[in-house]
Every structure is written in C-alpha cells, then in structure tokens.
Amino acid sequence: MIWDLGITGFVALAIVILAVSSLRILREYERGVIFLLGRFWKVKGPGLIIVIPGIQQMVRVDLRTIVMDVPSQDVISRDNVSVKVNAVIYFRVLDPQRAIIQVMNFLEATSQLAQTTLRAVLGKHELDDMLAEREKLNADIQQVLDTQTDAWGIKVSNVEIKHVDIDESMVRAIAQQAEAERARRAKVIHAEGEFQAAQKLLQAAQLLAEQPQAMQLRYLQTLGSIAGDKSSTIVFPVPMDLLSSFVNLPGGRRSD
C-alpha cells in the first residue's frame, strides 16, 4: 500500500513538472515558431502558450526593429578611388515562419548580404556621388537589400552610410580641386560683372550721344567736381559744339 502511494505521488509529481515545463510566456514583441515532431506546425504568441516537451519544439523570434552595424568595407569607386565605407541598417522580421525555415541564421545572413550589397552598389558610383548624394545611395542600397531579404520574411526599412574614409593624399587632391573650383567661380563672377558694367556704360554713352545737352551738363558737372579740389591748374577738355553754342549767342563774334 505504501509502495502504491509512493508510485502515485511520483507520477503526480512528474505530471506537474511536465505541465509546468510545457508552459511558455511570450512577450508582446515575440512570436514562437512551433515544430511538431520536426515539422512546422504554427506560429504562436504573444501570451501564455503550451509546448509539449519531447513532441513539440519552439523557436523564439523577436519582431522588434533590429539595428545592425555594417563593418567597414573596402570599396573601389567607378573612378578608381579606394575608400573605406561603413553603414548601419534597420530591419525587422515580418514573417517568423520564413525567417526560421528559409535561412539558417537570418541575423548573420542579413549582415553578410548588407556587406556585399554595400560594396556592389557603391562600386558603381564615383567618389563625388558618395560624398554628395548619400541619400540616393542609401535608398539604392535599401531597395536592393529589401528585395533580396523578402524571401526570408525580413523587411529592411532603412540604410544609412555613416562614414566614408578617404586616403590623406586623396583628401589633399579634393581640397585642391575645391580651391580651383572656387577660383573659377570668382573669375566667372568677375567677368560677368565686367560684362554688365560694359553694357551699362554702352547704354549711357548711347543716351548721351542722342542728347547733346546731357553731354554738356555732364562736362559741367565734372568741371565743378574738379574745381572743388585744391589743385592750382586744371586742364579740362571742352567739346567744340559747346564752344560753338557760345559763339552763336547774340553779340558774339564769329570769325570767317
């Protein structure tokens, strides 16, 4: 009788332990991929779920956005400049079933794919594009990654290029190029100013030629400006038409 009670108690204890060990609690951002005798059964969660030990197995999958740093990659641009580029990608699991079944380790697979994609996409662009058009390059890399990871049930939401490290000699060459570009712009602006000033002078000359009285007033104005100086001798050219106007006045003498 005591033996029977001992066996019954052991069985009851084993049942309790089995029941407790079969309970799983999944958080709001977690899902459990359940396998029944090695075959996919269903995706469960969040909350309290039951997994029968020995018959069912569960793999936890985090559905939150994952921030992954892409290690620095050696990239040769289209204009044969060697640079080191690193980036950061943001992605999340949309389909836990495919993320577990279609690829062995989706985190490692996404990291390796990001590295190769970074080299492939940036290698098609010149150095100036890497420095000036990062937003466009980010979008191109994100689109390529998102297309390839879709089969794994993963959504790549964003890619950001963090640093583009250039050799010191190349930095000096870029600085010289920028200095030459600034000098070129300064010369162009100066030439445009000279051209506009010449146009204005030409218009003023044409206006004075059409109105002789305006020319005479201009001479008189200039003479008045010079007379205000402290110089003792003033040599000022007087146009002949101005002298003729004085000769033709009443009482003036005209020599033949």
* pLDDT tens column, 106-117: 999 999 999 999
Distance CA 182, CA 189 (A): 11
The span from the CA of 83 to the CA of 78, in Å, is 11
Whole-angstrom Cα distance, residue 45 to residue 57?
A: 14
State whether 144 and 79 are in the same domain.
Answer: yes
Tally of domains in the chain: 2
- Residue 180: count other Cβ atoms within 10 Å of its Cβ: 10
Are residues 122 and 85 in contact, defined by beta-carbon separation less than 8 angstroms? yes
**C-alpha span between 143 and 161 (Å, rounded):** 14
Do residues 54 and 144 both lie within one domain? Answer: no
CATH number for the domain spanning 98: value is: 3.30.479.30
For tokens 């389909």, what's the residue? 95
- Residue 90 and residue 44 share a domain: no
Query: What pLDDT shows up at residue 255?
Result: 47
| Range from 74-78, 206-210, 229-233 carrying the lowest mean pLDDT | 229-233
Is residue 25 situated within a structural domain?
Answer: yes
DSSP string, 81-138: -EEEEEEEEEEEES-HHHHHHS-S-HHHHHHHHHHHHHHHHHTTS-HHHHHH-HHHHH
The reply to whether 150 and 94 lie within a common domain is: yes
**Reported pTM:** 0.64
**What's the rounded mean pLDDT across residues 65-79?**
90
Query: Considering the domain boundaries, does residue 9 fall inside one?
Result: no
User: Rg of the chain's alpha carbons, rounded to an integer?
Assistant: 43
Question: Does residue 123 share a domain with residue 36?
Answer: no
- The answer to whether the beta carbons of residues 208 and 239 sit under 8 Å apart is no
Domain that holds residue 35: 19-62
Q: Are residues 111 and 125 in the same domain?
A: yes
Asked whether the predicted pLDDT for residue 223 surpasses 70, the reply is no
At residue 181 the predicted structure's pLDDT band, cuts being 50, 70 and 90, is confident
